[in-house]
Amino acid sequence: MIPLTIRMQSQDNVAIVANHGGLPAGTVLPDGLCLCDAVPQGHKVALVDIPANGAVLRYGIAIGYALKDIPAGSWVQERLLQMPSARELNNLPIATVKPEPLPPLEGYTFEGYRNADGSVGTRNILAITTTVQCVSGVVEFAVERIKAELLPKFPHVDDVVGLEHTYGCGVAIDADGAEIPIRTLRNISLNPNFGGEVMVVSLGCEKLQPERLMPPGAIPINDQRGEALDVVCLQDDSHVGFMSMIGSIMKTAEQHLQRLNQRRRETVPASELVVGVQCGGSDAFSGVTANPAVGYCTDLLVRAGASVMFSEVTEVRDGIDQLTSRATTPEVAEAMIREMAWYDAYLARGRADRSANTTPGNKKGGLSNIVEKAMGSIVKSGSAPISGVLSPGEKLQQKGLIYAATPASDFICGTLQLAAGMNLHVFTTGRGTPYGLAEVPVIKVATRTDLARRWHDLMDVNAGTIADGTQTIEEVGMELFQLMLDVASGRKKTWAEHWKLHNALVLFNPAPVT
């Protein structure tokens, strides 16, 4: 076995071990350095003597300071590092980087469902919106009946999904922050994959009344449907017995299915893709293989005129200076700082900070702390200028590279990107997660070949080949781009779709419950 280590930048004084199974003590690296400790795969080895208090550099930045002398060849473990404090949010570089405009990428298309509001869906799904958790059992029952009895009559409709959640009642609905879960749910209902066919199941007595969830004008006008909001209210006097509720839901669903069944795919430019990227179950390879490949693909998408959202506040917080400098305008940079400051305050209310992010699995995978994790996470954003910022739950209205502020929690981030209007989701993982959504296809990218081999029927792309030296970042990025066009067109299904792996929607509710 040839010892293989990966150094990200020339000034780095650590490298990670790439070999599967790690390297034993006594291994001599090709440059002559002898390992004085066994170093697990993905973990860092000191390339030079690092004195106590000296900076440990990876990605060209200090990911920590040595708590004692670390001799060259040592395993640089998490417990040897003092984490740097977070960058202050003042005196940041504002829109200072003016990258050369990326050359347009033309001629790429996919087959999508064009909606009345101009958006494009990648799937044709009936979504049943719920105002409150109380109705979810009833909706689940109805969805099973709809799938069994109605869906076979509408062959052009892919699926029926109940938009269940834990919000809607028992909440301080007028408190600061309550608008976030409410607009999230509203905007998810308007996701391009649902064709504007909004129907709502309500209990009746809940705090989140249908008119508050979907005020007049919230749903774009549709000639066939008219302007009225379709609501099935379970407490309605007309309902006598459970089956009458199920009957009402099915009758309403059938009207929407009839209209959805008329949708047909048409050739649209790749610019109609709205891609949400995130990572979960990260390891030290995330920032070496999968996320750089996604970053290359992000650049391709931006060049093709598409929209790409990257998110996860705690995983970009330590690179805020990189983001504010890449903003297209001072307003975009200020919006980014505003979102970071809001999240700092949100975490501080729970006496936590960004360091609460890293998991035991992240650390086992070689990530010492959130600074190191963030540097690897940010590269998903590629190199394009950042042209817009979304607050949690807001709907995206523009093209280009967008920072959509969300928690890093996989389920909450995915839920908020759905609300923003994503029609395709890209998810990178090193430790491995079977994550999937019922509402949009999720393409999963493995950071290591070992994971891709073991989870061969869960991972859609293996970026581990980059660490193995058999593919370049550009090659994997292009492979991902082509796969995105195939998946968006319905020509290919993701593994999560194949197995119907559907994580729950999890609304971000920073407001109190009652």
Shortest Cβ 292–Ca ion spacing (Å): 17
Q: Which is nearer to Ca ion, 312 or 460 (CB)?
A: 312
Give the type of residue at 60.
G
In angstroms, give the least distance from the CB of 107 to Ca ion: 33
Among residues 115 and 428, whose Cβ is nearest to Ca ion? 428
Q: How far is the CB of 408 from Ca ion (least distance, A)?
A: 5
Q: Residues in the site for Ca ion, rule: CB under 5 A?
A: 278, 280, 408, 410, 413
Q: Which is nearer to Ca ion, 204 or 510 (CB)?
A: 510
d(CA 276, CA 403): 10
Nearer to Ca ion, 115 or 415 (CB): 415
Nearest to 61 by CA among 373, 405, 407: 373
Nearer to Ca ion, 249 or 374 (CB): 374
Nearer to Ca ion, 114 or 354 (CB): 354
**Amino acid in position 131:** T
- The CA distance from 396 to 419, in Å, is 8
Q: Which is nearer to Ca ion, 189 or 278 (CB)?
A: 278
Which residues have CB under 8 Å from 365's CB, separation 6+? 42, 282, 283, 284, 285, 430, 431
Rank residues 101 and 360 by Cβ distance to Ca ion and give the closer one: 360
Question: Cα–Cα distances in Å, from 232 out to 143, 204, 268, 286, 324?
Answer: 14, 9, 35, 45, 46
> Residue 146: left if φ>0, alpha if ψ -120 to 50, beta else—which one?
alpha
CB burial readout 59-82, b (16+ within 10 A) else e: bebebbbbeeebeebbbbbbebbe
- Please report which residue ranges of 222-365 form alpha helices under DSSP H: 242-260, 290-303, 320-326, 330-349, 360-364
Q: CA-to-CA distance for 384 and 303, rounded, in angstroms?
A: 9
* CA distance linking residue 197 with residue 212, whole number of Å: 18
Q: Which is nearer to Ca ion, 12 or 315 (CB)?
A: 315
Q: Identify whether the C-beta of residue 411 lies closer than 8 Å to the C-beta of residue 506.
A: yes
- Tokens for 371? 């600074």
What's the closest the beta carbon of residue 496 comes to Ca ion, in angstroms? 15
According to DSSP, the β-strands at 424-429 and 274-279 are: parallel
State the nearest-atom distance from the C-beta of 83 to Ca ion, in Å. 20
- Which CB, 413 or 440, lies closer to Ca ion? 413
Burial of 355 per CB tally in 10 Å (0-12, 13-18, 19+) = middle
Helices (H), 75-178: 136-145
Q: How far is the CB of 217 from Ca ion (least distance, A)?
A: 33
CB of 428: closest distance to Ca ion in angstroms? Answer: 9
CA distances from 463 to 125, 288, 428, 445 (A): 31, 9, 9, 7
For residues 205 and 356, which CB has a smaller minimum distance to Ca ion in the complex? 356
Neighbours of 100 (CB within 10 A): 6
Tokens at 262, concatenated? 């008329």
Rounded to the nearest whole angstrom, what is the least distance from the CB of residue 458 to Ca ion in the complex? 17
To Ca ion, the closest distance from the beta carbon of 188 in angstroms equals 18
Minimum CB distance to Ca ion smaller for 249 or for 413: 413
Integer Cα distance of 95 and 101 in angstroms = 15
Instruction: Report the distance separating Cα 393 and Cα 507, nearest Å.
Output: 9
Shortest reach from residue 181's CB to Ca ion, in Å: 19
State in angstroms the smallest separation of the CB of 507 from Ca ion: 16
Q: Which two tokens stand for residue 364?
A: 């086992």
Neighbours of 140 (CB within 10 A): 12
CB of 374 to Ca ion, least distance (A): 12
